[in-house]
Copies of this chain bind each other. A is one copy, B any other.
Amino acid sequence: MKLYEYLGKKLFHRYDIPVPQSKMAESSEEAAEAAAELGDVVIKSQVLSGKRGKAGGIAFASNPGEARTEAERILNMRLNDLTVEKLLVEEKLQIEQELYLALTVDGALRCPVVLASLDGGMDVEEVAEDRMIKWPIDVSIGLQDYMTREICRKMGVSGALQKEFIKLLPKLYKMFRELDAELAEINPLALTPDGLVAADAKVTIDDDALYRHPQLPRVKEKTDLELKAEELDIAYVELEGDIAVMANGAGITMATLDMVQHYGGAAANFLDFGGGADVERTAQALELLLGTNPKVLLINIFGGITRCDIVAEGFVKVRESKGIDLPVSFRMVGTKEAEGRAILEKVGIKTFNSMDDAVRHAVELTGAS
């Protein structure tokens, strides 16, 4: 779960990481009031998309009038298909230098890593490799001061700025661990006359750990279908094509999409309804698919834990209750294959043995319709 900048900064503040003075505004009037209180301000659209600056979603104002004008301009503007509804109005920092600091998870090393650079403000991938210091953390001892000293040495930082890092980094690590963050990024980390201040906040919380953080806000910036899928714990991604795909397993679903493309078709979605689905879950997954108004359904089942008969039953149930008459290409092998086929044949649906054949048939069906 990605958090809005202002929510990330609230968490920073809770962990005693310096952030600018700020006010939230949902109207130009509130923005003007905030500016009256804070003086020179920066007005930042609160959407989860990056590159807000380039898209015009960030503005400066040196008096309430300017703040009102800019807020009016930004509120309700569209940024990457998202509508701006909230503004963060912040004191303008006196920035001497922009740095980069983040904690994230390194899958290859299987542990947290600190990322730190003197080249802040840029996207992490744009920073030259030798200018981005990476330091893995052994979770059995956690973040220790010697690590910060070492990171600073590699950055070429010493003296007062090193002391600032030694104060800051343990707090960021504590937050990262305690809140089950996947990412806690400060970019830019502003060096001001008062020390280091988090000028931005990109915090992502591990969805799988949200259950143990009831106090955290829940942020939703997804389509209705994606939200519905999340509720059902179904891996679902909307795509642009017209063949609705469902399969059991992330890898095989991807492979199915690849094959659709290979045979000249276009998938409407990625939908992995996982292993061991029951009738109910199968039906829910299917209903989700129908929401995209596809031309053709492509179902690819390789039964392991998943039982073919149960998937077939779920399919028939939805088909009858919803009166679906979409063309379907159904591949079904594995556990309880014969039983599943029998159920489908009863309603006049033939199944394929091979994934290849099923995908080719689905692509043909789009041409026919």
A residues adjacent to B (C-beta < 8 A): 140-141
Contacts and interface: CB of A to CB of B under 8 A. Distances in A.
Nearest to A138: B140
Interface of A is mostly: loop
A217 to B, nearest CB: 26
Nearest 2 A-B pairs (CB), nearest first? A140-B140, A140-B141
Contacts of A141: 140
A141 B141 CA distance: 9
One complex includes copies of this chain to the number of 2
A140 B141 CA distance: 7
A142 B141 CA distance: 11
A185 B141 CA distance: 26
A302 B141 CA distance: 40
A46 to B, nearest CB: 37
A140 B138 CA distance: 10
Contacts of A140: 140-141
A140 B140 CA distance: 5
A366 to B, nearest CB: 53
A11 B74 CA distance: 52
A177 to B, nearest CB: 13
A141 B140 CA distance: 7
A153 B246 CA distance: 47
A49 B141 CA distance: 37
A260 B140 CA distance: 49
2 contacts: A140-B140, A140-B141
A112 to B, nearest CB: 15
A44 to B, nearest CB: 38
Nearest to A141: B140
Nearest to A139: B140
A143 to B, nearest CB: 14
A174 to B, nearest CB: 13
A198 to B, nearest CB: 27
A61 B309 CA distance: 73
Nearest to A142: B140
A119 to B, nearest CB: 35
A140 B142 CA distance: 9
A141 to B, nearest CB: 7
